[in-house]
Structure 1
């Protein structure tokens, strides 16, 4: 089953609508969902072009007006093909593209408003009821269905324009981050010391004991990855590989393996994780509250790691993408090089250190 960046509820089309309108509404829904999922994946430029396909099939004209056809079966068949193409172009949400958090959020708001306008027009038509033949069979005449068909195309045209703008915004943001963010940070970038990378990854999977606590699981999953190194630029042969800067992917993977599955808008982008955590009441800028099991976010929000130990003013972390590897490091929390920590959700938390 495909994960979705945001789930778009299907349109409630009445049973007396024509097969062509039902097909158009279903294909429109598939197209909107595919576009939204490409937003979540940070790949809006790869979103399918629904309006062009409608025009190619001669289902609408250049002004988005529905073209009347007597062969409804051909129209329905064409729409089923378009719907299938929309679904196969659905990219899902697992991506590391920079800028997805803000650009996707802004674009989604505009798309959501366009969808609600279309949903409102459909509801207004339903509220008017159907016309009836002399045999008592309910149906909608072309005077009702025509505007709805055109509204689907106009809505999708707006969606596609917004996707194009989002593509530009994301690329600009990516360029900015690429110029400002350190790649594969090492201990000298934030202070602290790094434990020598004296052994390669064990190659075995970690299976926590049945009675393991949440913190023990987090420490176990993180420590088991020590020694994982990149094979090529930003590529690791592990489940958290994204072929891009992977510190956030690693940290959120450790949490998820341990049973903490937080709904980040982009789990691969540190500013997104930190901002989402703040909105959910999980972010804490007080480093004095750091404890094992937390995620620690470094200054500038360019890097993130997993806290595995706390000793007075010192924390020990395990971090992905630290000098091209999973490494263990130690820091003095008074160094001032941190944005803060992210605590697990309330029902998973351990007591804060005294």
Structure 2
């Protein structure tokens, strides 16, 4: 006795779909990913601090916002020259001013101040308004102290040993970016306003 033939409807549908795709030359298939797409993502992720700084300069923003942008472009730069930042390290913040000071000195020049000076210069602060000092005390003596900081101003530890760039202000909360912060790198940090002295950005 013959068994009834069972139609495999799913199989037939699949077969017809394959035939249709061949006859139509692959019409309806999802477009292949662009070979350059992955490269573009990789390139963006691998930008150097200077490339990120150049990106900031393309923006139509004021000097204070530019200071914050340039400072944040250098987050992660390490004192020892991490490979992730293409050999950028704290020495560049001295060398670009023609100084031979060493990051480990901390007596003749502190690299937190060198970083601040470098950022202000590259953000477009007039040269005459930038303290010509690699020491925190030199910055304190050259700038006017204010009670309420704005983005672009600097925060100085009450001990006078460290300087940071103010990148955001929200009520009593202050966000800064500083060189030689944390584990000897450029880092961002949140503070309460009362813990530091603040000095006005020159305009």
Same fold (TM over 0.5): yes
Aligned pairs (5 A) from 1:74-153 = none
Shift of 1:237: 4.9
Unaligned stretches of 5+ in structure 1? 1-199, 349-354
Q: Partners in 2 of 1:239 and 1:312 — Cα distance? A: 31
1:303 paired residue among 162, 166, 189: 162
RCO higher in structure (CA 8 A, sep ≥6): 2
Partner of residue 259, structure 1: 124
Aligned pairs (5 A) from 1:225-264 = 225-231=74-80, 236-240=90-94, 242-244=101-103, 245-260=110-125, 261=127, 262-264=129-131
SS of structure 1 residue aligned to 2:78: coil
Partner of residue 134, structure 2: 268
SS of structure 1 residue aligned to 2:93: coil
TM-score between the two structures when normalised by the length of structure 1: 0.35
Greater helix content: 1
Partner deviation per Cα, 1:290-337 (whole Å, 9 max, x = no partner): 111101111111000000001110000000011310000000113xx3
Largest Rg, 1 or 2: 2
Partner deviation per Cα, 1:146-205 (whole Å, 9 max, x = no partner): xxxxxxxxxxxxxxxxxxxxxxxxxxxxxxxxxxxxxxxxxxxxxxxxxxxxxx984242
| Mapped contact 1:201–1:228 kept (Cα < 8 A) | no
**Root mean square deviation, CA, Å:** 2.2
1:203 aligns with 2:15: no
| Mapped contact 2:151–2:167 kept (Cα < 8 A) | yes
Partner of residue 6, structure 2: none
1:214 aligns with 2:63: yes
Shift of 1:275: 1.1
1:325 aligns with 2:185: yes
Partner deviation per Cα, 1:117-155 (whole Å, 9 max, x = no partner): xxxxxxxxxxxxxxxxxxxxxxxxxxxxxxxxxxxxxxx
| Mapped contact 2:117–2:130 kept (Cα < 8 A) | no
TM-score between the two structures when normalised by the length of structure 2: 0.60
Change over 3 Å in CA distance of 1:311–1:249 after alignment to 2: same
Shift of 1:283: 2.1
1:344 aligns with 2:201: yes
Partner deviation per Cα, 1:84-122 (whole Å, 9 max, x = no partner): xxxxxxxxxxxxxxxxxxxxxxxxxxxxxxxxxxxxxxx
Q: Runs ≥4 in structure 1, deviation > 6 angstroms? A: none
Change over 3 Å in CA distance of 1:263–1:315 after alignment to 2: closer
Q: Partners in 2 of 1:271 and 1:302 — Cα distance? A: 8
Change over 3 Å in CA distance of 1:243–1:201 after alignment to 2: farther
How many residues align? The count is: 134
Unaligned stretches of 5+ in structure 2? 1-44, 82-88, 96-100, 104-109
Shift of 1:238: 2.6
Greater strand content: 2
